Each structure stands twice: as structure tokens, then as C-alpha cells.
Chains A and B, each alone.
Chain A
């Protein structure tokens, strides 16, 4: 039943037929108002918690029965922040950012580790109340509404419910670690205007060591290619101390080869947070020479850096 519902709306063929371009960016033309589709998909997503495969860990656990997966999230979402901020990309700010607790990755340097590693952190998520705040923020000048975490993919039912309560014209941003599954992508197709996606590690060894995630690079690349074909995409890379050559260089090289012209935000404000001290090279900030080298690499590869 779930498969049928999804296939009716967004099989590959269907999506291809309904792809349009707006301001030069691909966009899936929705067959119904966004709020209506989001509400339907939220119900589908909730049912899919019985066999959760929202992220690439592909646990297949029944989250309706409890927090059994690697993310430790149950069926109910919590959130640890919802406020208007100006620290994201200039073209997105001011953004009303909603941060859902919990994540499927275990990045030791996570700046919100206490909330991102713990899906029970924060307050219970009331989509109606948060949507009301978001609408107020829009009235007060917020340019976008951003759904993030932690990792919002973990809480797709709640995220979709929130979308169903937001104005049709609101510009929505999906801030993700790009470790979601094809199922998750189908549920999200056409609902968010911008995917703001991390490409954190340039190789699987660093990903496994620092975030305990296997097969990272292939999954992220798959998600980025999909996102670039379905919505506006901004790729974000947090420059890590000591990881310019092993992580940033291959990321930059891949982006140049596979997503030429994609907007890239290279962030050098690494903050040695959470469990960063477990790794000798992550006990400090990024140095100016490292930053300069990273920017030089970006220019060498012709990347479209945005502030």
C-alpha cells in the first residue's frame, strides 16, 4: 500500500514528465497543492516507521514500537531550536530554522552533539505551534523556512506535517546530511525549494573514523545528484583542521566534475565541539593557511563559492 501510494505520485517516469525549471533551477511540478501532498505523505511516512528505511543505514526496524534503529529515534519527534537566524547562506537569510533532535550520523565534532545524538533532547514537536511561529517569522521578514536537525530525515513524518501547515508560497529549505534513502527522497520530492546538503567527508575512511558511517561517499554523491536534478541545491562543506587534502580536495574535485556550477559554501569556522577532542587533529580551529589553501583549491577546480 505504501509503495502504491508513492508510485502513484513520484515514480521516476512521473517525476521526469513533471519536471519544470524555475529561475534556472529544476523543480518537480506538483499534482496538488504542496500542503495537501505534504499531508498525504506525512501519513505515508508515519506508516513507514514500521519498517524504517529513511536513511542509508537501512535499519528496517519498527520505530512505532520504540527507538530501535541506529538513530535511536522513536515515532515522535522532538526539537531543540526554532528561531530566526542569519548565519546561513546570504541568499537564504533571515531564515526561520527548526532543528529536530536526533541524527543518523555520529560526527564526533558535531556542534549540536548533545541534541543531535539524542533524539529525546529538547521539547516535543508540535507541528501546529511551530508552523504558527514560522508564519509569524515570515510576516516579520524571514526569507525562508529551514528544516534541519540533527538530521530531519530521521523525522520525516513530523517534517512533512510541518510543511503541510506552511503557506504555499513560503520558500522552504531542507538542510540535510545527504545520507537519506531513495524512499526519503521520494517523499520529499517537490516539497522543498532548496536542498542545503552537507558533503562532509571526501573519503570513507575519514567518514567511518569521525562519524561512524560506512559507505558514506557513494550515498552522499547519489543524494547530491538527485537533489541537483529535482530542486535548487547548495552544497556545504565544513572545512576540518587537517582534512584539506583528504576531505576537501576530493569533495571539490567531485563537485567540479559532476555538478559544475553548483553553489558551494565552504565554511572554515570549525569549532572543536562535542567529542572532537577524541581526534588529535580536531582539537583546534582551522588555521588561516588551511583556509587559504582550501579556497585556492576551490578556485583551481572552478567551484561556484557562495557566502
Chain B
């Protein structure tokens, strides 16, 4: 497993936004502290993942009140191996 960190520039204040991801051997990507810029990046990499798409700005604007995305990505437990999953916050 390979762990990576990403800092994305926050345009307004110059502060750093921090997200972390973990790429599993089977291709799954676990994400921790997901920020909007990171969600948009992941959504571009895998547009079919509803769980990430629903967290990117474009999808949020389109379906601001969505609570039950229809596809298989709507709950993290039924992801295909190529999907993204939201990791734990303990």
C-alpha cells in the first residue's frame, strides 16, 4: 500500500488544504479529509464513481439536496474495486 499526501493551494488565503489518500493493491483508493479540489481531481480520474462525483462541486451544484445517489457508489460498502472510498474519521 502506498500513502500519499496532497496539498492544494487555497486561492483566497494562501493556506494549504490537506487531503490524504491510500492506494490499495487492488486499485481501490481510500481518501481521508477529502477537500473539494481533491474530490474534483478524483472525479476527473474516475467519472463513474458516484460517491466522489456527489462530492465534487459540479455534482453538488446539480444535485444539492441529494441524499441517496442512485448508483452503486452511493454506499461505500458496495464499491467496485476501481472506486474510491471515504476513510475513517475516528
Contacts and interface: CB of A to CB of B under 8 A. Distances in A.
**Cβ-closest 9 pairs across A and B:** A87-B34, A269-B85, A291-B77, A269-B87, A86-B55, A238-B88, A271-B87, A268-B77, A295-B77
A81 B18 contact: yes
State the majority secondary structure of interface residues on A: loop
State the majority secondary structure of interface residues on B: loop
A206 to B, nearest CB: 14
Interface of A: 81, 83-88, 90-91, 93-94, 107, 109-112, 116, 136, 140, 148, 175, 177, 198, 200, 236, 238-239, 266-273, 285, 288, 291-292, 294-295, 305-307
Interface in B33-83: 33-36, 39, 51, 54-56, 60, 66-69, 74-79, 81
A85 B68 contact: no
Contacts, number: 119
Contacts of B76: 266-269, 291, 307
Contacts of B17: 83-84
Interface of B: 1, 10, 12, 15, 17-18, 22, 24, 28, 30-36, 39, 51, 54-56, 60, 66-69, 74-79, 81, 85-90
9 contacts: A90-B69, A109-B90, A111-B87, A175-B89, A267-B76, A267-B86, A270-B30, A271-B30, A271-B87
